Amino acid sequence: MPDPFVLRPRTAAVDAADAVPALAVDPVFGALAEHVRDDRVTDIFVNGASGLFVDRGNGTEPVPAWLASEREVRDLAVALIGAGGRHLDDQSPCVDVRLESGIRVHAALAPVSTSGTALSIRVPRVLGADLDALAVSGTFDSAQRAWLGRLVAERANVLITGGTGTGKTTLLSALLSEVAPSERIVTIEDVAELRPRHPHHVSLEARQANLEGAGRITLAMLVRESLRMRPDRLIVGECRGEEVRELLTALNTGHDGGAGTLHASGLLDVPARMEALGALAGMDAVALARQVVSAFTIVLHLERATDGRRRIAHAGRFTLIDERLGIEEVQPW
């Protein structure tokens, strides 16, 4: 008689580094595959039938040889979104997905995109990067590298800010790779991109509503659910709405060692961005300021130079200025 079914742990130890797969190019990319394979390319943009552009670190540049019809671009977009497990059609004309390889794809169909089907593809080039790898790439120097390691060890709550493409997610993933293996990390994202080199990482991803308008799961809902999962480190990949209230509540009630990212063009713009998010969450400026000051230990602001290099440009600490949220630049390293 066969043994009854029981759950047994795997006997072979799995190294954290092996848990991060190498970047694989799905055949569904078709004519775009050669650009995905190009190690220099970080972003690919298809603007309907009018053109293809790639970013190799020096800004976007056209690909003169590209030739495609609107039908071909739309079919490609539908196939890419389908590969990510979601559906793209006239009822859901704008969809964002993450493929198994870590590549992120956003598609917008006409007539929402007036120039034809638009594809925006983000290609991660530093999968599972750690702080040492980022130090070699010039994101920060050796003194900053040691200081970042101490922030993780001391369970500081970190907010990473910067514009699009400045490396916020990459830096956050590298910081999480420094977390002790005995700790449990729970990450919450609109589209799951964080892939730290860590053996105990649980990733939660928001879900869009179905065609009947049901089944939507928001970031705020996931933050509340994550608190029941006993996280040692609670991470919100990007704060962009009411979930900021849930994150601030968690960070102010004993969940230290947390982190999040925020879009901001400059360090001094961060307080205004936080107030805007607080307003979406129904928080007044005074309540938000007090919550933010006590929640976050440090703000790291990233910038992307004209040569494509991403670096920590500023560090700051939140302050109270006449009961409103302010920030002061510091150099703690």
Helix (H) / strand (E) containing 186: strand 185-189
Domains of the chain: 27-122 (3.30.450.370), 131-329 (3.40.50.300)
pLDDT tens figures, 140-157: 999 999 999 999 999 999
**8 A C-beta contact, residue 23 and residue 101:** yes
The phi-psi region of residue 295 (left if phi > 0; otherwise alpha if psi is between -120 and 50; otherwise beta) is alpha
In this predicted structure, the answer to whether residue 158 has a pLDDT above a threshold of 90 is yes
Global confidence as pTM:
0.81
At 19 the pLDDT is: 39
The pLDDT tens digits for 77-120 are 999 999 988 889 998 899 988 888 888 899 999 999 998 999 99
Mean pLDDT (whole number) for 207-228: 86
DSSP codes of every residue in 256-289: -S-EEEEE-SSGGGHHHHHHHHHHHTT--HHHHH
**CA 317 – CA 199 distance, rounded (Å):** 31
CA distance linking residue 333 with residue 147, whole number of Å: 6
In Å, the largest CA–CA distance within the chain is 76
- The H-assigned helical ranges of 191-317 are 219-226, 243-251, 270-280, 285-295
| 52/65 Cα distance (integer angstroms) | 9
**Of the listed ranges 141-145, 238-242, 261-265, the one predicted with least confidence:** 238-242
Average pLDDT value for residue range 18-28:
56
| pLDDT of res. 164 | 86
Residues 6+ apart with CB under 8 A from 228: none
- Residue 111's identity, in one-letter code, is P
Residues 252, 234 contacting (CB under 8 angstroms): no
Among residues 66, 18, 14, which one has the least CA distance to residue 45? 66
Residue-level pLDDT at 61 = 92
